[in-house]
Amino acid sequence: MYIQKDVRSRDIGLETGLLLARYLLDTENLHYGYWMPGVEVHFRNLPAAQERYTEFLLSHVPAGAKSVLDVGCGAGVTAEKLLERGLEVECVAPESGLLEAARKRLGERARVHAARFQDFAPTRKFDMVMFSESFQYIPFELALPHALKFIDSGGYVLICDFFKVKGKKKSPIGGGHKIYELEKQAAQLGCEILTDIDITEQTAPNLDLVDDFMRRVGKPGYEMLMEHAMASYPRTTKLVRWWKREQIDKVEHKYFSGLRTGKTFAEYKTYRLLLLRRK
Ligand SMILES: C[S@@+](CC[C@H](N)C(=O)[O-])C[C@H]1O[C@@H](n2cnc3c(N)ncnc32)[C@H](O)[C@@H]1O
């Protein structure tokens, strides 16, 4: 099966996240946690913080929305919550282990479509299209215009994701479309922004969690592996390090520079919940 390279490499990261979350935390949530003041930023508290994120997200589903298209549904945890609330749900995401997990979880209760959203042809309308931490994975110029094809006038688009802020140069943390471009695009496409809530402060601690893990587990583990490789296969290790030096430097800098913290996240990104209505 041919799988698009950009989707595949990102999904490997997400699938690894799913395996770790399942094994260590007994959860299949793949989004950030929503951290309340005073809660210790520790992995043991992540599942509860993720539950809080989902509650926050679902509390902004408008009463009039009875049918939802969940774009980038992960393992289907949020979709299941929507079903439990009596909503009709369909999901769409590229084929992957995540989608397999969603199919297993949702069974006959929801249709799960295997496709990149931008390639998914609208055959019916929904009351709302939802992107929970998936908006950033879809090319900006396609995401909202395509979402509008699935709703009628008066329909909703709910986006909860992080974005790049204006006036900042290259961030050590990747991802996110430009928030000011989305605001402009929404107006051009005739969408009214009904709700706009900034949850950067509540989501930034997730970066501290990962940074702490990288400092205490990732880096020492990596260094041990490298030491072992150098001791056992010195010539091959040196050769590979030299041959792939650019990629290795990039990965080492990305994960071990200590720059991917909550503070940096809050400086370069803005995590927003946006509820749009098509006029
Ligand atoms: C960070 S996960 C979020 C999962 C879930 N919505 C949640 O809140 O837990 C991102 C999701 O976006 C999906 N995704 C990535 N590229 C996509 C695309 N082009 N179209 C639709 N979904 C995509 C991934 O497969 C994954 O399910």
Cβ 243 vs Cβ 74: under 8 Å: no
CA of 17 to the centre of ligand 1 (A): 12
Ligand 1 near 112 CB (within 6 A): no
Ligand 1 near 31 CB (within 6 A): yes
State the pairing for strand pair 269-278/191-198. Answer: antiparallel
Residue span(s) of the chain under CATH 3.40.50.150 come to 5-201+264-278
pLDDT in tens, the chain (279 residues): 344 445 556 667 777 777 787 777 878 888 999 999 999 999 899 999 999 999 999 999 999 999 999 999 999 999 999 999 999 999 999 998 899 999 999 999 999 999 999 999 999 999 999 999 999 999 999 999 999 999 999 999 999 999 999 988 788 888 999 999 999 999 999 999 999 999 999 999 999 998 888 888 888 888 889 889 989 999 999 999 899 888 888 888 878 877 889 999 999 999 999 999 999
Ligand 1 near 138 CB (within 6 A): yes
Both tokens of 238, joined, read 């040196």
Residue nearest to atom 13 of ligand 1 (CA): 72
Domain spanning 5-201+264-278: CATH 3.40.50.150: yes
What pLDDT was estimated at residue 1?
Answer: 39
Q: How far apart are CA 6 and CA 22, in angstroms?
A: 24
pTM: 0.89
Residue nearest to atom 4 of ligand 1 (CA): 74
Ligand 1 near 11 CB (within 6 A): yes
What pLDDT was estimated at residue 210?
Answer: 87
Tokens 């309308």, located at residue: 125
What pLDDT was estimated at residue 9?
Answer: 60
Q: For a ligand 1 pocket test, name from 34, 137, 142, 177 the mutation site with the most ligand atoms within 8 angstroms of its C-beta.
A: 137
Ligand 1 near 32 CB (within 6 A): no
What pLDDT was estimated at residue 110?
Answer: 98
